[in-house]
A and B are shown apart, each in its own frame.
Chain A
Amino acid sequence: MSTNSTALPPEPQLPESDADILSRCAIGDRTAWGVLVHRYKDLVYSTALRTGLDTADAEDVFQEVFLELHRSAARIRNPNALPRWLLVATRRLCYKTAVRRRRMLPDISEDLVDPSRLPEEEVIAAQSRVSVEEGLRQLDARCARLLGILFFSQEPPSYDEISETLGLARGSIGPIRIRCLDRLRKVIGDR
Protein backbone atom coordinates (compact mmCIF):
# COMPACT_ATOMS: atom_id res chain seq x y z
CA MET A 1 0.00 0.00 0.00
CA SER A 2 1.39 3.39 -0.91
CA THR A 3 0.74 6.69 0.77
CA ASN A 4 0.43 10.01 -0.88
CA SER A 5 2.41 12.50 1.20
CA THR A 6 1.06 15.48 -0.73
CA ALA A 7 -2.59 14.69 0.06
CA LEU A 8 -4.32 17.25 2.22
CA PRO A 9 -5.57 16.02 5.59
CA PRO A 10 -9.35 15.58 5.79
CA GLU A 11 -11.46 18.62 6.53
CA PRO A 12 -11.66 19.18 10.28
CA GLN A 13 -14.87 18.43 12.12
CA LEU A 14 -16.76 21.18 13.89
CA PRO A 15 -16.34 20.81 17.66
CA GLU A 16 -19.43 19.58 19.48
CA SER A 17 -21.16 22.37 21.41
CA ASP A 18 -20.98 22.50 25.21
CA ALA A 19 -24.78 22.24 25.31
CA ASP A 20 -24.79 18.97 23.38
CA ILE A 21 -21.95 17.53 25.44
CA LEU A 22 -23.56 18.54 28.74
CA SER A 23 -26.87 16.99 27.80
CA ARG A 24 -25.05 13.70 27.17
CA CYS A 25 -23.14 14.03 30.45
CA ALA A 26 -26.45 14.48 32.28
CA ILE A 27 -27.51 10.99 31.25
CA GLY A 28 -24.20 9.45 32.26
CA ASP A 29 -22.30 9.39 28.93
CA ARG A 30 -18.69 8.91 30.03
CA THR A 31 -17.24 9.66 26.60
CA ALA A 32 -18.93 13.05 26.60
CA TRP A 33 -17.68 13.66 30.12
CA GLY A 34 -14.10 12.95 29.01
CA VAL A 35 -14.44 15.45 26.15
CA LEU A 36 -15.72 18.10 28.55
CA VAL A 37 -12.92 17.54 31.07
CA HIS A 38 -10.24 17.77 28.40
CA ARG A 39 -11.81 20.89 26.92
CA TYR A 40 -11.79 22.80 30.23
CA LYS A 41 -9.08 21.24 32.38
CA ASP A 42 -6.48 23.91 31.63
CA LEU A 43 -8.89 26.78 32.31
CA VAL A 44 -9.84 25.43 35.73
CA TYR A 45 -6.36 24.40 36.83
CA SER A 46 -4.67 27.60 35.61
CA THR A 47 -7.32 29.73 37.33
CA ALA A 48 -6.72 27.88 40.62
CA LEU A 49 -2.96 28.38 40.37
CA ARG A 50 -3.39 32.08 39.62
CA THR A 51 -5.25 32.69 42.87
CA GLY A 52 -2.04 31.69 44.67
CA LEU A 53 -2.81 28.10 45.65
CA ASP A 54 0.08 25.66 45.56
CA THR A 55 0.10 22.72 43.17
CA ALA A 56 -1.45 20.23 45.60
CA ASP A 57 -4.32 22.53 46.54
CA ALA A 58 -4.87 23.57 42.91
CA GLU A 59 -5.16 19.88 41.99
CA ASP A 60 -7.74 19.38 44.74
CA VAL A 61 -9.72 22.40 43.53
CA PHE A 62 -9.49 21.11 39.96
CA GLN A 63 -11.05 17.83 41.05
CA GLU A 64 -13.73 19.47 43.19
CA VAL A 65 -14.78 21.84 40.40
CA PHE A 66 -15.28 19.00 37.95
CA LEU A 67 -17.13 16.88 40.48
CA GLU A 68 -19.44 19.85 41.05
CA LEU A 69 -19.90 20.13 37.29
CA HIS A 70 -20.65 16.42 37.08
CA ARG A 71 -23.27 16.71 39.81
CA SER A 72 -24.78 19.81 38.21
CA ALA A 73 -24.80 18.67 34.57
CA ALA A 74 -28.58 18.35 34.32
CA ARG A 75 -29.24 21.76 35.87
CA ILE A 76 -26.98 24.21 34.10
CA ARG A 77 -29.29 26.91 32.79
CA ASN A 78 -27.04 28.31 30.11
CA PRO A 79 -24.73 25.58 28.81
CA ASN A 80 -23.22 27.94 26.27
CA ALA A 81 -21.86 30.06 29.11
CA LEU A 82 -20.01 27.14 30.66
CA PRO A 83 -16.68 29.02 31.06
CA ARG A 84 -18.49 31.49 33.35
CA TRP A 85 -20.01 28.64 35.37
CA LEU A 86 -16.58 27.03 35.75
CA LEU A 87 -14.89 30.29 36.76
CA VAL A 88 -17.55 30.89 39.43
CA ALA A 89 -17.07 27.38 40.85
CA THR A 90 -13.28 27.56 40.69
CA ARG A 91 -13.09 30.92 42.48
CA ARG A 92 -15.47 29.78 45.22
CA LEU A 93 -13.58 26.55 45.81
CA CYS A 94 -10.22 28.37 45.85
CA TYR A 95 -11.58 30.65 48.55
CA LYS A 96 -12.93 27.69 50.49
CA THR A 97 -9.55 25.95 50.32
CA ALA A 98 -7.70 29.05 51.46
CA VAL A 99 -10.10 29.53 54.37
CA ARG A 100 -9.72 25.91 55.43
CA ARG A 101 -5.95 26.19 55.28
CA ARG A 102 -6.20 29.51 57.13
CA ARG A 103 -3.91 31.02 54.56
CA MET A 104 -3.86 34.63 53.56
CA LEU A 105 -3.11 34.66 49.85
CA PRO A 106 -2.74 37.90 47.91
CA ASP A 107 -5.42 37.11 45.33
CA ILE A 108 -7.87 35.37 47.66
CA SER A 109 -10.76 37.41 48.95
CA GLU A 110 -14.42 36.97 49.75
CA ASP A 111 -15.20 38.60 46.39
CA LEU A 112 -14.42 35.25 44.81
CA VAL A 113 -17.60 33.80 46.30
CA ASP A 114 -19.87 36.37 44.66
CA PRO A 115 -20.64 35.42 41.03
CA SER A 116 -21.66 39.01 40.28
CA ARG A 117 -18.07 40.15 40.95
CA LEU A 118 -16.60 37.93 38.26
CA PRO A 119 -14.95 40.36 35.81
CA GLU A 120 -16.62 40.15 32.40
CA GLU A 121 -13.28 40.52 30.59
CA GLU A 122 -12.02 37.40 32.37
CA VAL A 123 -15.03 35.46 31.10
CA ILE A 124 -14.62 36.73 27.53
CA ALA A 125 -10.90 35.90 27.53
CA ALA A 126 -11.58 32.40 28.84
CA GLN A 127 -14.32 31.78 26.27
CA SER A 128 -12.06 32.90 23.43
CA ARG A 129 -9.11 30.89 24.70
CA VAL A 130 -11.17 27.72 24.96
CA SER A 131 -12.68 28.38 21.55
CA VAL A 132 -9.26 28.82 19.89
CA GLU A 133 -7.74 25.83 21.73
CA GLU A 134 -10.71 23.65 20.84
CA GLY A 135 -10.42 24.80 17.21
CA LEU A 136 -6.73 23.87 17.19
CA ARG A 137 -7.58 20.41 18.54
CA GLN A 138 -9.76 19.80 15.49
CA LEU A 139 -6.91 20.51 13.07
CA ASP A 140 -4.23 18.10 11.95
CA ALA A 141 -1.20 17.92 14.22
CA ARG A 142 1.03 20.06 12.00
CA CYS A 143 -1.47 22.92 11.78
CA ALA A 144 -2.24 22.71 15.49
CA ARG A 145 1.41 22.92 16.48
CA LEU A 146 2.23 25.70 14.04
CA LEU A 147 -0.69 27.92 15.04
CA GLY A 148 -0.23 27.10 18.72
CA ILE A 149 3.34 28.34 18.55
CA LEU A 150 2.38 31.44 16.59
CA PHE A 151 -0.52 32.38 18.86
CA PHE A 152 0.62 31.49 22.33
CA SER A 153 4.42 31.67 22.49
CA GLN A 154 5.78 34.07 25.09
CA GLU A 155 7.88 35.78 22.38
CA PRO A 156 6.81 35.86 18.70
CA PRO A 157 9.07 33.27 17.04
CA SER A 158 10.95 33.90 13.79
CA TYR A 159 10.33 31.69 10.76
CA ASP A 160 13.83 30.28 11.25
CA GLU A 161 12.91 29.18 14.77
CA ILE A 162 9.61 27.71 13.58
CA SER A 163 11.43 25.90 10.78
CA GLU A 164 13.81 24.36 13.28
CA THR A 165 11.13 23.51 15.85
CA LEU A 166 8.65 21.92 13.45
CA GLY A 167 11.07 20.55 10.86
CA LEU A 168 9.43 22.51 8.05
CA ALA A 169 11.23 24.11 5.12
CA ARG A 170 11.41 27.80 5.82
CA GLY A 171 9.80 28.70 2.50
CA SER A 172 6.80 26.43 3.15
CA ILE A 173 5.82 28.00 6.46
CA GLY A 174 3.95 30.96 4.96
CA PRO A 175 1.70 28.93 2.64
CA ILE A 176 1.06 26.27 5.31
CA ARG A 177 0.19 28.98 7.79
CA ILE A 178 -2.38 30.50 5.41
CA ARG A 179 -4.03 27.10 4.85
CA CYS A 180 -4.06 26.37 8.57
CA LEU A 181 -5.58 29.74 9.41
CA ASP A 182 -8.29 29.17 6.84
CA ARG A 183 -9.11 25.81 8.40
CA LEU A 184 -9.11 27.22 11.92
CA ARG A 185 -11.42 30.01 10.93
CA LYS A 186 -13.89 27.53 9.44
CA VAL A 187 -13.79 25.42 12.59
CA ILE A 188 -14.20 28.24 15.06
CA GLY A 189 -16.90 29.98 13.05
CA ASP A 190 -19.31 31.71 15.40
CA ARG A 191 -18.44 29.70 18.50
Chain B
Amino acid sequence: MAHSEHDLPPDLLRRVEEARRTGAWTSPRAQVVERLLSLSGEIAPAPAVAMGDLSRSGGDARAAALAVDSPEALVTRVFAEGELGLSAQRAEDGVGMVLRGRVWLRDGGHSQVLLVHGDHVLAMAVCESGGEFRFDELEVPGWELEVHVSSGRVLRIYGF
Protein backbone atom coordinates (compact mmCIF):
# COMPACT_ATOMS: atom_id res chain seq x y z
CA MET B 1 0.00 0.00 0.00
CA ALA B 2 1.38 3.41 -0.91
CA HIS B 3 0.76 6.76 0.69
CA SER B 4 -2.17 8.65 -0.82
CA GLU B 5 -2.97 12.30 -0.25
CA HIS B 6 -6.60 12.21 -1.32
CA ASP B 7 -7.76 12.52 2.25
CA LEU B 8 -5.61 15.56 3.10
CA PRO B 9 -7.63 18.64 4.02
CA PRO B 10 -7.66 20.96 0.97
CA ASP B 11 -5.80 23.79 2.69
CA LEU B 12 -3.00 21.51 3.85
CA LEU B 13 -2.84 19.74 0.48
CA ARG B 14 -2.45 23.11 -1.25
CA ARG B 15 0.39 24.09 1.08
CA VAL B 16 2.17 20.79 0.55
CA GLU B 17 1.83 20.98 -3.23
CA GLU B 18 3.17 24.55 -3.26
CA ALA B 19 5.99 23.58 -0.93
CA ARG B 20 7.07 20.73 -3.20
CA ARG B 21 7.70 23.20 -6.04
CA THR B 22 10.79 24.37 -4.19
CA GLY B 23 12.42 21.05 -5.14
CA ALA B 24 15.00 19.41 -2.93
CA TRP B 25 16.44 21.61 -0.20
CA THR B 26 19.96 21.35 1.10
CA SER B 27 21.07 22.41 4.56
CA PRO B 28 24.30 24.35 5.01
CA ARG B 29 26.98 22.61 7.08
CA ALA B 30 26.51 22.93 10.84
CA GLN B 31 29.91 24.67 11.16
CA VAL B 32 28.80 27.32 8.68
CA VAL B 33 25.64 28.03 10.68
CA GLU B 34 27.61 28.14 13.94
CA ARG B 35 30.14 30.53 12.42
CA LEU B 36 27.31 32.82 11.29
CA LEU B 37 25.66 32.80 14.72
CA SER B 38 28.94 33.61 16.38
CA LEU B 39 29.80 36.36 13.89
CA SER B 40 26.40 38.05 13.97
CA GLY B 41 26.43 38.08 17.77
CA GLU B 42 29.29 40.57 17.61
CA ILE B 43 27.46 43.07 15.38
CA ALA B 44 24.61 45.36 16.39
CA PRO B 45 21.69 45.77 13.96
CA ALA B 46 21.60 49.02 12.03
CA PRO B 47 19.53 51.77 13.65
CA ALA B 48 16.00 52.35 12.40
CA VAL B 49 15.10 55.73 10.98
CA ALA B 50 12.06 57.65 12.16
CA MET B 51 10.77 60.35 9.87
CA GLY B 52 11.71 63.06 12.37
CA ASP B 53 15.33 61.92 12.38
CA LEU B 54 15.97 62.91 8.80
CA SER B 55 18.18 65.90 8.42
CA ARG B 56 17.16 68.50 5.86
CA SER B 57 20.73 68.89 4.72
CA GLY B 58 20.68 65.81 2.49
CA GLY B 59 22.43 65.67 -0.84
CA ASP B 60 22.02 64.03 -4.19
CA ALA B 61 24.76 62.05 -5.92
CA ARG B 62 22.71 62.00 -9.14
CA ALA B 63 23.03 65.76 -9.52
CA ALA B 64 26.76 65.55 -8.88
CA ALA B 65 27.11 62.82 -11.50
CA LEU B 66 25.40 65.02 -14.08
CA ALA B 67 27.49 68.05 -13.26
CA VAL B 68 30.69 66.72 -14.81
CA ASP B 69 31.37 64.28 -17.61
CA SER B 70 32.84 61.68 -15.33
CA PRO B 71 31.88 58.27 -13.95
CA GLU B 72 32.62 59.70 -10.51
CA ALA B 73 30.18 61.81 -8.50
CA LEU B 74 31.61 63.96 -5.73
CA VAL B 75 29.33 65.20 -2.99
CA THR B 76 30.23 67.37 -0.03
CA ARG B 77 27.81 68.44 2.66
CA VAL B 78 28.08 70.56 5.76
CA PHE B 79 25.58 69.76 8.48
CA ALA B 80 25.06 70.85 12.08
CA GLU B 81 27.32 68.20 13.57
CA GLY B 82 30.05 68.08 10.94
CA GLU B 83 30.92 67.57 7.28
CA LEU B 84 30.72 64.74 4.77
CA GLY B 85 32.84 64.13 1.68
CA LEU B 86 31.70 61.34 -0.65
CA SER B 87 32.99 59.90 -3.92
CA ALA B 88 30.58 57.59 -5.76
CA GLN B 89 32.15 55.87 -8.74
CA ARG B 90 30.82 53.30 -11.17
CA ALA B 91 33.15 50.31 -11.42
CA GLU B 92 34.82 49.38 -14.71
CA ASP B 93 32.90 46.09 -14.90
CA GLY B 94 29.72 48.12 -15.50
CA VAL B 95 27.75 46.51 -12.68
CA GLY B 96 29.59 47.55 -9.54
CA MET B 97 30.16 50.83 -7.76
CA VAL B 98 32.60 52.07 -5.18
CA LEU B 99 31.56 54.56 -2.52
CA ARG B 100 34.36 56.19 -0.54
CA GLY B 101 34.15 59.03 1.91
CA ARG B 102 34.91 60.60 5.23
CA VAL B 103 32.78 62.15 7.96
CA TRP B 104 34.31 64.86 10.14
CA LEU B 105 32.46 65.56 13.38
CA ARG B 106 32.87 68.86 15.22
CA ASP B 107 32.79 67.18 18.63
CA GLY B 108 34.80 64.12 17.58
CA GLY B 109 33.39 60.68 18.30
CA HIS B 110 32.11 58.42 15.58
CA SER B 111 29.29 58.07 13.07
CA GLN B 112 27.55 55.08 11.50
CA VAL B 113 27.46 55.08 7.72
CA LEU B 114 24.89 52.87 6.01
CA LEU B 115 24.40 51.95 2.37
CA VAL B 116 20.68 51.30 1.99
CA HIS B 117 18.42 50.01 -0.77
CA GLY B 118 14.74 49.99 0.23
CA ASP B 119 14.54 48.00 3.45
CA HIS B 120 17.89 46.29 2.83
CA VAL B 121 20.96 47.61 4.64
CA LEU B 122 23.58 46.49 2.11
CA ALA B 123 26.61 47.59 4.10
CA MET B 124 27.43 49.43 7.28
CA ALA B 125 30.57 51.01 8.70
CA VAL B 126 31.41 52.72 11.95
CA CYS B 127 33.77 55.67 11.33
CA GLU B 128 35.82 57.64 13.77
CA SER B 129 35.74 61.35 12.95
CA GLY B 130 37.90 61.88 9.87
CA GLY B 131 38.24 58.15 9.16
CA GLU B 132 37.47 56.75 5.73
CA PHE B 133 34.62 54.41 4.81
CA ARG B 134 34.50 52.39 1.60
CA PHE B 135 31.77 50.20 0.11
CA ASP B 136 32.28 48.00 -2.96
CA GLU B 137 28.82 46.90 -4.02
CA LEU B 138 26.67 46.13 -7.02
CA GLU B 139 25.07 49.25 -8.39
CA VAL B 140 21.42 49.06 -7.40
CA PRO B 141 19.18 51.84 -8.71
CA GLY B 142 17.87 54.01 -5.91
CA TRP B 143 20.61 53.39 -3.36
CA GLU B 144 20.95 55.81 -0.49
CA LEU B 145 23.70 56.61 1.96
CA GLU B 146 22.76 57.40 5.55
CA VAL B 147 25.11 58.99 8.06
CA HIS B 148 23.93 58.57 11.63
CA VAL B 149 25.49 60.86 14.21
CA SER B 150 25.34 60.64 17.98
CA SER B 151 22.64 63.32 18.28
CA GLY B 152 20.30 60.85 16.58
CA ARG B 153 20.11 62.93 13.41
CA VAL B 154 20.59 61.32 10.02
CA LEU B 155 22.12 62.82 6.90
CA ARG B 156 20.85 61.13 3.77
CA ILE B 157 22.47 61.22 0.33
CA TYR B 158 20.39 59.98 -2.60
CA GLY B 159 22.36 57.83 -5.04
CA PHE B 160 22.24 57.49 -8.78
Cβ distance B136 to chain A, nearest Cβ, rounded Å:
9
Q: Which residues of B contact A28 (CB under 8 A)?
A: 44-45
Task: Tell me if A59 and B28 are in contact (CB < 8 A).
Answer: yes
- A129-B36 contact, Cβ under 8 Å, with A74-B45, A157-B2, A185-B12: no
- A selection of 24 A-B contacts at a CB cut-off of 8 Å is A33-B37, A37-B33, A37-B36, A41-B27, A41-B33, A45-B28, A49-B26, A63-B39, A68-B120, A70-B45, A71-B46, A71-B124, A72-B45, A75-B119, A85-B119, A99-B138, A113-B138, A121-B21, A128-B19, A129-B18, A132-B15, A152-B19, A159-B3, A184-B12
Q: Which residues of A contact B118 (CB under 8 A)?
A: 77, 115
Task: Tell me if B26 and A46 are in contact (CB < 8 A).
Answer: yes
Residue B151 interfacial (CB < 8 Å): no
Residue A106 interfacial (CB < 8 Å): no
- A129-B25 contact, Cβ under 8 Å, with A62-B32, A67-B40, A74-B46: yes
Task: Tell me if A66 and B40 are in contact (CB < 8 A).
Answer: yes
- Rank and list the top 7 A-B pairs by shortest CB-CB distance, nearest first: A128-B18, A129-B19, A74-B48, A125-B21, A71-B121, A45-B28, A128-B19
Q: Which residues of B contact A143 (CB under 8 A)?
A: none
Beta-carbon contacts of A171-182 to B below 8 Å, as 1s and 0s? 000000100010
Task: Tell me if B16 and A76 are in contact (CB < 8 A).
Answer: no
Cβ distance B21 to chain A, nearest Cβ, rounded Å:
4
Residue A73 interfacial (CB < 8 Å): yes
Beta-carbon contacts of B7-31 to A below 8 Å, as 1s and 0s? 0110110111011111111111100
